[in-house]
Amino acid sequence: MIASDDGRAQTPEAASTGRLNRPREIGVGIVGLGMAVAPHMLAIRDLEAEGRVRLLGGFSPSAQRRGAFAQAWGAPVFLSLEALLAAPGLDLVIVLTPPGAHLPVAEACAAAGKHLLVEKPLERTVDRAEALAALAARADVTLGVVFQHRFRPAALRLKQAIAAGELGTLLSCSASIRWWRDAAYFAQPGRGTMARDGGGVLLTQAIHTLDLLLHLAGPVSRVAGFARTSPLRAIDTEDIAAAALRFANGAIGAVDATTVAEPGFPERIEIAGTGGSAALVAERLELHLKGRLPEVLDRGLAGGGGADPMAFDHGPHRAMIAEMLDAIEQGRPPSHAGATGLPVLRLIEAILASSVSGSFVDLG
C-alpha cells in the first residue's frame, strides 16, 4: 500500500490512474467494508464504466477489513473517516456500518456537506432514524436508504400495476420470509445481538421484504404480533416472528418471518384485490388480472434466503445507486429517500411491542 499526504493509503494501481480528477463524475466513498460491500462495489464498477461515478475509496476502523477491501477491489482505503471526508472531489458517502453506527457517521458526513446513502435499516430505532433524517434535512444533503428490492424489475412491474389500479381495491396483502442462517453466520462477533445488529430477524433479515410490502400496499394502521428466540442459537434477538396486519387502506394480511427454516426459501409477497392477484417470489412475479392472460416476469428465485445471505444479483443495487446519482444531479429527493425508510421501522417496533404487551398496537 502507498500512504498519501492526506492520510489515506492507496493501492499502486489506484495511485497511478487519473480517475480522481474526472470532474463530471460524482465522487463516492464507502464507510464500512464488511459483508454488504460486495454488491455496492459491483454496482459502482458498472457505473464507473459508464462515466457516472468515480470511487475515491473506503474506510473501516478495522485494518483487516481495509486490507481485504483493497486487495479484493484494487481500491484506495482511508485510515480515518476524517481523511475520507476531506478527500478532494467527494460528493456521496455510502454508509455500510452496523446500524447503531449510522447516526454518528451520518452526522460527520452531513457536517462536511456530503450526500448520504445509508444501508438498511436507516438506524436501529425509530427515534434514531428520525434524528438521522432530520440532520440530513438541516444540512441540506440528499439522503437515501438502501432498499434495493424496490428496484427489482418484478417489484417495479407490480408497483406499476397497483398504482395504475390494475389490481383494483387491495383486500389481502401478506409477506413470508422463511430463511435460514447457519452456525457460521452467527459465529461472527456480535451477530444476532442487540448490541451489534440492533434487532433480530425483523430488523436484520426480513426488513427488505417488509419494506417492499409497505412500498406496494401502503402503510399499516394496526398490528398484533408475536416474536421469540429459538433454541438453535445463543442470541438475544428474535429469530421467529409473526404478525397480523391491518392496512390503512382497509386490506388485511399477515407477516411470517424466521431464520430457522433450513435450508431457506425465497421470500414471498402475495397481494389480492378486486381486480386480480399477484405473487412476488424473490424476483419472479405472477400477475393474474381479471379478463387477461396471466403475466409472468421471471428474473430468478435467488434472494439470499439460504446460508449465503449475499446470493443475489447486484443489478438492483446498480439501479438504486443510479437513482441516487440522478437525484443529486437534479437537486431532488431520490425515490428511496431516507424518510421512506421510516414506516418499516415503525412497523417492526409495533410488532415487537405487541408481542411484549399481548395487545394490538395502533400506528399513527
- pLDDT surpassing 70 at residue 360: yes
Stretch 276-281: mean pLDDT, rounded? 98
- pLDDT surpassing 80 at residue 3: no
- pLDDT surpassing 60 at residue 230: yes
What is the reported pLDDT for 185? 92
Lowest mean pLDDT of 99-113, 230-244, 302-316, name the range. 302-316
Stretch 98-116: mean pLDDT, rounded? 97
Confidence band for 19, pLDDT divided at 50, 70 and 90: very low
Confidence band for 188, pLDDT divided at 50, 70 and 90: confident
What is the reported pLDDT for 303? 57
Q: Tell the CATH superfamily of the 150-306+338-362 domain.
A: Dihydrodipicolinate Reductase; domain 2 (3.30.360.10)
- pLDDT surpassing 90 at residue 292: yes
What is this structure's pTM?
A: 0.90
Mean pLDDT in the chain? Answer: 92
Whole-number Å distance between alpha carbons of 49 and 55: 11
- pLDDT surpassing 80 at residue 18: no
CATH number of the structural domain 2-147: 3.40.50.720
Stretch 318-343: mean pLDDT, rounded? 97
306-317 pLDDT per residue, tens? 656 656 689 999
Question: For the chain, percent helix, then strand, then coil, each to nearest 5?
Answer: 40, 25, 35
- Per domain, the residue ranges of the chain are 2-147, 150-306+338-362
Q: Across-strand partners of 143?
A: 116
What is the reported pLDDT for 304? 62
- pLDDT surpassing 60 at residue 5: no
Whole-number Å distance between alpha carbons of 167 and 170: 7
